[in-house]
Structures are given as structure tokens and as C-alpha cells.
Amino acid sequence: MPPGAVPRDRAAVAVVLAGGRSLRYGADKVAVLLDPCLAALPAGWPVVCVGPSRPTPRPVAWARESPPYGGPLAGLAAGVAVEPGASAYVVIGADMPGAGLAAEALLAAAGEGAAMLVDDTGVRQPLASAWAGPLLRERLAALSAEGPLAGRPLRALLEALPPGAVVEVADSWGAARDVDTPG
């Protein structure tokens, strides 16, 4: 199987969250960082970008969170809704241009649970994670039943998970670095 290919029994979808306002960046950082972010993902993977639609060199499906700018949890739900039957999802923040480099390792580590990059200071990065499809859909449904997803943190997905459900993957790629300011 060629590098970056997804086994048919493990069809993964990359959900790239690209809906922020770029307030700290001072300009539209997605316009600057989205193409490198997409280029770092394995070539054969389907991609759903969530945010205002824009041209990309790679074919992607677009979705919009409700309400617009409703945050990453609402964005993830919108992305999953585009590909509701995927066996796994890799979640990437568009402001993390190297996160796709870790996508295959995250997917392999997730198994039937979840995997998340951990930076060199021990901080988990939910915007660089992989989730078994059934688990992610179950968590999104449970959180939706509690109320609107807009404005809630992505870390809410981790609530109610049993110990050990999230495998930590050391970030040997430097992929967990997000870009909040130019330069």
C-alpha cells in the first residue's frame, strides 16, 4: 500500500477546522495557512474543511458550523455531518500547518478510541487528534443532547471518557504547533 493510503477497512476522513476569526493573527490566517495544512495531510485522504469556503489546490468538501464562528466543537460536528459514516476522523486545526504529518500515526494509535498529539511540555492538542468514528459520533450526540455545541471547547469531547480511552502520541514532528501570530 502506498504511503498515505488509507486501508479500505479503515477509511478515515480528515476534518480541518478553518472557521476562526484570526483575531490574534491580525489578518486572515486561514488564507495563509490552509494550503500548507492540506499539503501535510496524506494525499489519498478525503478532506472536509469547516469554515468559509475558499479555493484550495486539493479537492475538499466544505461545511459551515452553526452558527458561523460557533467554535471548534460546532465545527467538528458540521464536518462529521458531511461524512457521517466514516470509520475514523482525523481532526486538524487549519492554523497547525504541520499537523497532517502526524495524521497516519494518530490514526494508527486511535484504534477504537482516540489518539491525541502531546507537545514537548505534556499538553494534549485536541486539534491534532484521531477518533474512531463510532466513538466521536457518540460523544458529539451526547454533547448535543446537553445543549448547543456553539461556544463549547473541543476538550468537552474528553469528558466522560474512561481512563486510557485517549492514547497520547508524542509530537516528534513538531506538528502540534499552532500559528497565532505572523512570523
The whole-number pLDDT of residue 96 equals 83
Q: Which residue type is seen at 150?
A: A
In contact, 128 and 155? CB cutoff 8 Å: no
In contact, 128 and 174? CB cutoff 8 Å: no
Q: Which residue type is seen at 46?
A: P
The Cα–Cα gap between 129 and 107 comes to 8
Domains of the chain: 10-170 (3.90.550.10)
The overall pTM is greater than 0.85:
yes
Q: What is the pLDDT of residues 71-126, one digit of tens each?
A: 899 999 999 999 999 999 999 998 888 889 999 999 999 999 999 999 889 989 99
Nine-digit cell string for 30: 486561514
The whole-number pLDDT of residue 28 equals 60
Nearest to 45 by CA among 60, 56, 62: 60
